[in-house]
């Protein structure tokens, strides 16, 4: 999720000032994704530049208010209506995939360490929360952690028949030319 879209979605509820947006973002995510004030104001500057929000006067205490524009509402609607599909560019999967193919690397210990870290992270998650946003985020974290543990089981099964390998003998045709070592 982008902070940009989260802040726009909050502004779709009505004009807000910067710290109010930060607090609403925190409240709606159950405090699981905290943004700092600098990030909020930088994002507001970009949203204004992109004509997705406008400055909308001040509140009774003199704080500058921001309001969403029609283009901003369109962007929020598109974001909320779009599905998010997790891709294959997963840092953990890439790390393990490379590690298990390298000669001399104890891939089993890498997998075991990841399993311990994942199990510890799962154990540290709060079981219940009265906050809807936090409950949703925690449920996702639990499900993802449990899925990671199942994935590590699969990796261990694949590792049983895997053979590490060195560099390919096939040389790519392209590459940066070597630098000349002649003195100048």
What CATH number is given to the structural domain containing 71?
1.10.10.10
Q: Is the pLDDT of residue 13 over 70?
A: yes
Average pLDDT, integer, range 35-63: 95
**Structural domain includes residue 181:** no
**Same domain for 48 and 98:** no
**Structural domain includes residue 69:** yes
Q: Is the pLDDT of residue 95 over 70?
A: yes
| pLDDT tens-digit map of 121-148 | 999 887 778 888 888 888 998 999 999 9
Distance CA 2, CA 47 (A): 12
- Residue 99 CA, distance from chain mean position: 23
In 3-state terms, what secondary structure has residue 83? coil
Q: Which domain holds residue 116?
A: 91-159
**Structural domain includes residue 105:** yes
**Structural domain includes residue 41:** yes
Query: What is the structure's pLDDT at 31?
Result: 76
Q: Give whole-number Cα distances, 36 to 18, 54, 62, in Å.
A: 10, 21, 21
Average pLDDT, integer, range 93-103: 83
Distance CA 182, CA 184 (A): 6
Distance CA 57, CA 141 (A): 40
Per DSSP, helices labelled H in 16-104 are: 18-28, 37-49, 70-81, 91-101
Query: Token digits for 103?
Result: 């000669």
Q: Answer for the pair 69, 53: CB distance below 8 angstroms, yes or no.
A: yes
**Same domain for 108 and 69:** no
How many structural domains is the chain composed of?
Answer: 2
Average pLDDT, integer, range 80-88: 79
Contacts of 159 (CB under 8 A, 6+ apart): 100, 107, 108, 111
**Same domain for 64 and 98:** no
**Same domain for 77 and 15:** yes
**Structural domain includes residue 164:** no
Q: Give whole-number Cα distances, 48 to 8, 20, 42, 56, 57, in Å.
A: 11, 17, 10, 11, 14
């Amino acid at each position: 999720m982008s902070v940009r879209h989260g802040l726009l979605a909050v502004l779709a509820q009505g004009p807000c000032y910067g710290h109010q947006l930060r607090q609403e973002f925190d409240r709606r995510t159950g405090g699981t994704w905290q943004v700092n004030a600098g990030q909020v104001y930088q994002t507001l500057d970009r949203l204004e530049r992109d004509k997705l929000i406008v400055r909308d006067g001040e509140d009774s205490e003199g704080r500058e208010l921001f309001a969403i524009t029609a283009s901003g509402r369109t962007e929020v609607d598109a974001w909320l209506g779009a599905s998010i599909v997790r891709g294959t560019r997963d840092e953990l999967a890439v790390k393990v995939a490379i590690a298990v193919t390298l000669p001399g690397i104890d891939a089993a210990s890498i997998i075991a360490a990841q399993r311990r870290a994942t199990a510890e992270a799962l154990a540290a998650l709060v079981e219940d929360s009265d906050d809807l946003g936090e409950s949703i985020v925690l449920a996702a974290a639990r499900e993802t952690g449990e899925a990671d543990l199942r994935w590590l089981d699969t990796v261990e099964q694949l590792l049983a028949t895997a053979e590490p390998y060195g560099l390919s003998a096939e040389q790519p045709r392209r590459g940066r030319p070597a630098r000349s070592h002649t003195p100048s």
